[in-house]
Amino acid sequence: MIFAGGGKSRFTRIRTHLFRLAVFRVDPMRMRVIGTALAVAIASAALAAASGAALIGIYRNGMETPGQRSEPVKLSGERCGRGGSEHAFRVVVGKRTRECSYRTIVIGRDLQISATTRLLSKTPRQVRRRAFLALTLRSGDGAHYQLLAYPLQRKTQLRKTLPDGSVRYLQIAKNVKAIKGVDKANKLRLRAFNLTSGPDKGRCRILAYVGKLEVADFVDRAAGDLKGRASGFAVGATRKAKGTAASFDDVVVRVPNPS
């Protein structure tokens, strides 16, 4: 696992955080490449991936400063407007664009990403029902695992997009009461770990949550289809998505605990 460049900030250890072990977050002052020793330590933790393993937080971006909000790097989307408030990273989907996707600096195979997401009231009313908020893992060359939450439909989809652009819907949940509507916080979480033991050894188990509610649990026997390693978040809509607006904050990435 490595940390990718592309932001304008360095990373320092948080003294007060939710995790038992060290977490890293954006410091807005300047850019710095993460040292080799840190990358090696994180990589060794990832080797112990298991679906039920305890997790270590390795990265957090609260989107609280201009430096933090400059960190996400666009993965896809022809026309995507980006901005921010004092506490969130904001995205508006432009013309002839169905989805705007951004990555964190964390690149790796066995990761969990979580974020607080909101569909904003700036979104045109005729688009809101089709709009979704999403988290992505193992992203690269247009392929990825993705959790989509539709705030007005109260529906989630766990889907796998292949390098040729085809989409496979792995699991769908409807009438999800944990999903909130416009301008409300939706706390999403997506995990993709390769199993290290049992009959499914080597396959990828994917778990997805809205708040504390599990909305998907799927074992992918063809995990090798995805070669990408980027982690991130996205906003879009089915069919025309112009004007769809969303905010993202408290983005956290975790890896399995090797102990």
What is the C-alpha to C-alpha distance for residues 31 and 48, in angstroms, rounded to an integer?
A: 30
Q: Report which DSSP code applies to 224.
A: G
What is the C-alpha to C-alpha distance for residues 226 and 205, in angstroms, rounded to an integer?
A: 13
Contacts of 156 (CB under 8 A, 6+ apart): 147, 148, 149, 150, 172, 173, 176, 179, 208, 210, 215, 216
Domain count, the chain: 1
- The amino acid occupying position 200 is D
Full residue range of the structural domain in which residue 62 is found: 2-256
pTM attached to this predicted model: 0.83
What pLDDT score does 84 carry? 83
pLDDT tens digit sequence for 208-221: 999 999 999 999 99
What is the C-alpha to C-alpha distance for residues 181 and 117, in angstroms, rounded to an integer?
A: 11
Average pLDDT, the chain: 86
Region 175-203: mean pLDDT is 97
Residue 5 has pLDDT above 60, yes or no: yes
Q: Which of 6, 18, 214 is nearest to 105 (CA)?
A: 6
**Is the Cα torsion angle 43, 102, 26, 15 positive or negative in sign?**
negative
pLDDT tens digit sequence for 112-171: 999 999 999 999 999 999 999 999 999 999 999 999 999 999 999 999 999 999 999 999
The alpha-helical segments, DSSP class H, found in the chain are: 36-46, 66-69, 125-128
Confidence of residue 53 (pLDDT cuts 50, 70, 90): low
Contacts of 213 (CB under 8 A, 6+ apart): 176, 178
Residue 13 has pLDDT above 90, yes or no: no
Residue 183 has pLDDT above 90, yes or no: yes
Give backbone dihedrals phi and psi of 191, rounded to 5 degrees, phi first.
-130, 135
Q: Which CATH number do you get for residue 104?
A: 2.60.120.560
What is the C-alpha to C-alpha distance for residues 142 and 228, in angstroms, rounded to an integer?
A: 9
Lowest mean pLDDT: which of 31-45, 196-210, 236-250? Answer: 31-45
What pLDDT score does 51 carry? 44
